[in-house]
Amino acid sequence: MYAVIKTGGKQYRVAAGEKIKVEQIPADVGSEITIDQVLMVGEGESVKIGTPVVSGAAVKATVVSHGRHEKVKIFKMRRRKHYQKHQGHRQNYTELRIEAISA
């Protein structure tokens, strides 16, 4: 069984037992969270698509860790104008382990 969930403005295809990195969620490490914005649930040939969410569906996940992604380097330059700008960004994330999908 798999599901498509929405969290942090992005969509993820998840199955039980998988680990995913999502936008940072304010939850303690080891705590269990429930994601109720399930857009689609599928099992084999049968698929349930929500309008916009599947009613009664939920995904249970456990917070594994918090961290920061690799640095993204930003470089801006204007030719012949002696302008250069160096910048970097590291996005925070929360790693989740999907425990169960209930439709």
| pLDDT number for residue 63 | 97
Indicate whether 85 belongs to any domain. Answer: no
Residue 30 located in a structural domain: yes
CA distances from 16 to 55, 62, 102 (A): 19, 11, 10
Q: Residue 103: what pLDDT?
A: 85
Q: Which amino acid is at 55?
A: S
> Low-confidence residues of the chain, pLDDT below 50?
none
φ and ψ at residue 8, rounded to 5 degrees:
65, 25
- Residue 73: its pLDDT value, please? 98
Q: Which domain holds residue 39?
A: 2-67+93-102
Facing residues of 3 across strands?
A: 14, 41
Is 37 part of a structural domain of the chain?
A: yes
Q: What is the pLDDT of residue 85?
A: 98
Whole-number pLDDT of residue 42: 95
Q: Looking at the 3D structure of the chain, how many domains does it have?
A: 1
Position 53 scores a pLDDT of 95
Residue 84 lies in a domain: no
